[in-house]
A and B are shown apart, each in its own frame.
Chain A
Amino acid sequence: MLGFTLSRLVRIPAIALGVLTVIFFIFKAVPGDEATLMAGATASQADIERLRGQLGLDKPVVEQYATRVVGILRGDFGYSSTFRGNPLPHILARVPATLALMACAIGLTILVGLPAGVLAAVYQNRWPDYLLSFLVVGLLAVPNFWLGLMLIVAFSVQLGWLPSFGFTGWSSLVMPTLALAARLIALVARMTRGVMLEELRKDYVRTAYAKGLDARLVIVRHVLRNALIPTVTVIGLQMGYLLGGSVVVERIFAWPGIGDLMVNAVGARDHTLVQAITLLFVVGFLLINLAVELLYQVINPRLRHA
């Protein structure tokens, strides 16, 4: 397992370099003069020229690319007009907020989605099952940003229970988590229900019942354990959604994470910052995917050494 982890870890910088190359040249193809954009509306022509010289924007693109790659290896992502310098420390300062939001969303998904799917399977074709399919279809159609707005209307404006933006304590996490997790909960519940139904018909379940095991024990200890594998798959496949969704959700709740920063960067036409954040999202995505694969091997011993 250590060998597997290492071989995967080694690939991440290579992929990151590839992605960096693609986005660097795409952003270089943007019409408009970068130095003029960065200097801002009030800058004089002399200021613009000075900035161009300072940032090396007058050099050939390939040289700029090489400088950027070498810079990133040293932890310098280039000149961000928002922070008037290397944006890396400012981005890293916001990582914990985004990670906390994602972790809470995953936690809530497991806490709610898994039991909901199990219940629906156990009560197949009875009201808990119908209620769940109704909720799943609904939650998959509702955009997370609208759900967020509706939560604010209900819990902040009408009831006054929860703060509607920023971070003012743990209660601030409730609504962003719900908005982000809703889609995941629906997907996990649907997946769990399907797999549980399949597993419940298998021989080992009949054997367990035949030897007189308590129904709850059979479901929790035997069936659920097998049903867990596809559930992890679903969560793993949705990591991309979770990262992208966090951008939108952070925006609604003015959550001080990287996604909120990214939208600000786009608005300010701070291309260096947009590229840096995109790159960090990719690296984060790859690391999370690796973690999911490792988790797989923990819960499914059949996959080990595969």
Chain B
Amino acid sequence: MRERNVYLWAGGAMLALYVLVALFGQWLAPYGGNDQDLLNVLAAPSREHLLGTDQVGRDLFSRVILGTRFTLTVAVASAGIAGLIGVTIGLVAGYFGGRVDSAVTGLIDLLLTVPNLILAIAVASVLGAGLAGLIIATTASFVPSLARLIRGRVLEIREEEYVQAAIAIGMSDARILARHVLPNALTVIVIETSLLTGQAVLVGAALGFLGLGVQPPAPEWGTMLSGGREFLEVAPHLVIAPGIAISLLVFACNVFGDGLRDRLDPNYRA
């Protein structure tokens, strides 16, 4: 148990660091995201350019720092929105049951037959590239599984005696949902959305890499990786730093989520 708290704190500390970089990136970056040093194109790391420069002479270190904001925005926004929608759908379907439930579950089951990333790509291609499209596509790919999970938990809670008692004394549905069902489902919700954040980083970066996310010249990590793909032979440093930035962020999210799960969920033992 003690060891797991270390996970929670270590993951939390790393995430806090990412948040700080996202908030104050403008002041931390030595150069602007689109400042060009045309004398040093595709330069290897040096004292002037800590991580080297890209194909048009932009400072990679600055771009990785400035990219933190895009990635965190996408990850937090899509996990948050997916959480909100998933919780609403799950609560309504699980609590009211009947026709509402069959209709919702039917649609969810249908969407679950589309692999997660394929769904995100299809949605992104409908919406076109850009930050908003990226967030919606990532969100859309998470809602079905999340809603299903929460519906399952709500079905369990609904059978609990305290809920049955509340129904018996004539408490309104809205009040039961807010006072009894939601608080008891909260553990699952918090754990799952925190683990989703790491997945959202991966899906968001993958869409960026496929050219469906934030468009160049914006410094988004996935987009930067796909730009660096062409210069692997002459400038492999272009693809190293953005990849490490993504991996460490996902690592932090996973560790934090696992730590949270151990702290909050008494039934779960790793």
Contact = CB atoms under 8 A, between A and B. Distances in A.
Interface in A52-87: none
B115 A271 contact: no
Given A145-B225, A149-B229, A157-B232, A137 B239 contact: no
B110 A19 contact: yes
In which size bucket is the chain B interface? 35 or more
A252 B229 contact: yes
B114 A278 contact: yes
Nearest to A183: B202
A89 interface: no
Contacts of B229: 149, 252
Contact of A137 (B113, B212, B251): B251
Contacts of B248: 141
B117 A143 contact: no
A149 B232 contact: yes
Contact of B118 (A143, A156, A157, A243): A243
B47 to A, nearest CB: 24
Contacts of B222: 145
B142 interface: no
Contacts of A267: 211
Interface in B100-145: 110-111, 113-118, 120-126
Contacts of B114: 19, 278, 281-282, 285
Interface in A124-176: 137-138, 140-146, 149-150, 152-153, 156-157, 164
Contacts of A153: 232, 236, 239-240
A153 B233 CA distance: 7
Contacts, number: 129
Contacts of A244: 115-118, 120-121
B202 A274 contact: no
Nearest to A145: B209
Contacts of A142: 243, 247, 250
Interface in B67-125: 110-111, 113-118, 120-125
Given A15-B110, A143-B247, A149 B225 contact: yes
B146 interface: no
Interface in B199-219: 202, 205-206, 209-212
B251 A149 contact: no
A27 B250 CA distance: 32
B126 A27 contact: yes
Contacts of B232: 149, 152-153, 156-157, 164
